[in-house]
Amino acid sequence: MTAQNQQSPNGASRPAESRRLARIGSALRHKWWLTLAGLALGGLLAALYLHFAPMVYEATAVLKVGTDELLALDIPEDLRPAAAGTASARQIRETLLSAPFLARVVETNALARDTRFSPQPEDGASGTASLATRLADCLTVTIAEKEALVNVRVSHHDRELTAQLANSLVDELVRQSAWSRDELFKQVTNALVQKISSAQKSLASAREEELRLKTRQDELALELRDLKSGLLDARARRIPLETDERALQQHGTNIEALLELASIAGDAKVKELRAALVQKEQAFDRVKLEYKWKHPTYLAADREVTSGRQSLRDAVRAAADGRRASLATAKAAEADLQQRVEERTAEAAKLTQRLAENSTSIAAKDRELQPLFVRMQKLQDATMNREVFGSPLRVANKAGVPLHPSRPDRFKVLGLGLLGGLLVGLLVSLAVGMVDTSLKSVEETEQLLGLTVLSAVPPVPPKQPKPGPLGPTDQAHFAVAEAFRSLRTSVSVIAKEKELKSFLFTSATPKEGKTLCALGYAVSLAQQGLRTLLIECDLRRPMAAVALAGIKQDSRGVSDYLKAQPTPSTFQPAEPKPRNEGGLSFAELRRKQHAVAEAAAASPAPNRRAERPEISSVTLDDIVQKTEIDGLSFISAGTPVPNPAELLARQGLSKLLGEALRRFDRIVIDAAPLMGISDTLLLVNQVQATCLVVRAHQTQRRAVLRAVEMLRRADAPLLGAILNDFSAAKSERYGDYYQYYGRVTKPGEPKAP
């Protein structure tokens, strides 16, 4: 099990997150052409929009609202916005957008007969109203309150007409302006009156707050006086109680000593019991004179005295406890009074501070109010001379003929089109890439499966024929051959502690290249000088014979060998299984049966051979074929059979492998895919290593994970995975490696090592 599978739950989120990020990056990288297509489409749509969209021009005229100067009035800066007429600017905007005003502008400029504004002449009141509505659609009025400016903007397809209409609107407004000097004077006066009223209200509120604080201060003084008097009384009650407490602690449980204390002796209960005890003792003295000590009367009187003494002791203790409780109560009352005194003292200090602050605020507000009265007096004096005000409305800037269209903004439209196309392309690339759940890299395969990737086999060049026997001089498929040499090296490094001789190649689904990988690995072993046997155990769709040259494709093979072996019914009945085999797993029992069958095949008993019925035999020599590659032999699938699974389940396959291992150095088995059929699961326990072939960018994750789970449940000796059809162009991390090994040797150059 790899380190990825052994990590703790606390660290499991980081590898999962890194895998998700890597998957997103891989999706964007592999589907880059979709991003480029989205970018190109966005640019094309933006260009088409700019080509067909009408050009709109804008012209702006500016009005300044307010007085040029207030000569005789010393109006401060905070009142100048009111004098400048902020509210008037809003009224100007309403006037500009009103239908009667726009109708007058239409008539002034004869827009009913201007083909630039009205392609079809419209006469009468209804025509003027419709043209006024159309002019309102072209008009935009904005207010800059800080500068008291009104911007009148006209938008139209004719640039000269835009400037004409903007200037006509502001000129007409200036001519028909209803703003008078009396109106401006009234605005300044009202603003000043409001400011004086606000200042007076604030001053009155401050004085009311001062009166409330002084009233509360007087109340606190009276309350503090009462609290301090109560505190002195509480201390006077506490001191004698503390004196008694010290005496009580000194005398402890000495009743006689406690009775000497005035506070204890003066307790009503103690007095009563003490007097009763004296009477009982006197009565007991008289009884002593008349009766002896064993007489019942004597004994009864003695008990009375004893009971009286005990009651007196209890009363003394109760009185002492009462004094202690009184002391605790007195202390608590004194502490409560002390706390209340401190709280009221702190509150009084805060009230004093607030009174000082409020007095300062009243003085400041009074100082602010005096200049306002002076300004009001100046305004009243200025009523006799209205010439002190300037004009409240004037044209600050005339509109000019625009040179360039304002809409559409070519750079903005083009930028938005490219940006939108890029985003759409990225989203489509990401969506397509995330839907594609195939494995695309070595790291991704190892992290998902928890297996070592033994080798990454590049794809066959598209313009080259598919490789047959891959030799060292096959320059067209040199990178493929080198990948199988790397596979051979990886297997030897992993299995360096023990020598592996039999290998099985399988895949999750068909068309993943397991036959190519088995053939390439067998060729690489033969090129190393090992006697290698390639066995085609995919009895349903055999493909290895097609790729090899110099063999007979219709010759006998594995199926013929297995059919010639005796069925289980021809053998002697097996002995009953020992009881201790009941706890073995299915894989352990199967391995044990195969071991017994191999031992029986290696040294068959003569008497059993004589007992078996005669069956036409097919030997290993009958099915083994030589190939054109030195050291490589081949066994084909043989004659097609309707029941491959039942045939492979026979014991004859173990005999075939055992005999082949004695004659060859290495055995490579091309098995069927795992999904949907059980042929390969019958073979995995008869080999020393199993290699799972995964096709990059095609095999789905769920299928590969299911295949690995099936192999592990079958207790297969899973050596690792082979990433087939791995494109170097789709992985920049391995691009330089395959460019180096994929270089074709030119004539006259030395061959690659």
The burial class, CB within 10 Å (0-12 / 13-18 / 19+), for 225 is: exposed
pLDDT score recorded for residue 751: 43
C-beta separation of 472 from 752 below 8 A: no
| Cα(370)–Cα(195) distance, integer angstroms | 12
CB atoms < 10 A from the CB of 740, how many? 11
pLDDT score recorded for residue 233: 87
pLDDT score recorded for residue 606: 42
CB atoms < 10 A from the CB of 364, how many? 12
pLDDT score recorded for residue 585: 42
Q: Is 507 helix (H, G, I), strand (E, B) or coil?
A: strand
Buried b / exposed e over 542-579, threshold 16 CB at 10 Å, is bbbbebbeebeeebbbbbbbbbbbeeeeeeeeeeeeee
pLDDT score recorded for residue 252: 77
Radius of gyration of the chain (CA): 56
pLDDT score recorded for residue 532: 94
| Cα(371)–Cα(412) distance, integer angstroms | 55
pLDDT score recorded for residue 579: 36
| Cα(53)–Cα(56) distance, integer angstroms | 9
Those residues of the chain that have pLDDT short of 50 are 1-12, 68-72, 78-79, 82-87, 178-179, 386-390, 467, 471-473, 476, 569-587, 589-590, 593, 597, 600-615, 732-753
CB atoms < 10 A from the CB of 527, how many? 21
C-beta separation of 230 from 236 below 8 A: no
- Residues composing the chain: 753
The tens digit of pLDDT for each residue in 70-129 reads 444 555 554 455 444 444 677 778 888 888 888 888 888 888 888 888 777 666 666 788
C-beta separation of 723 from 457 below 8 A: yes
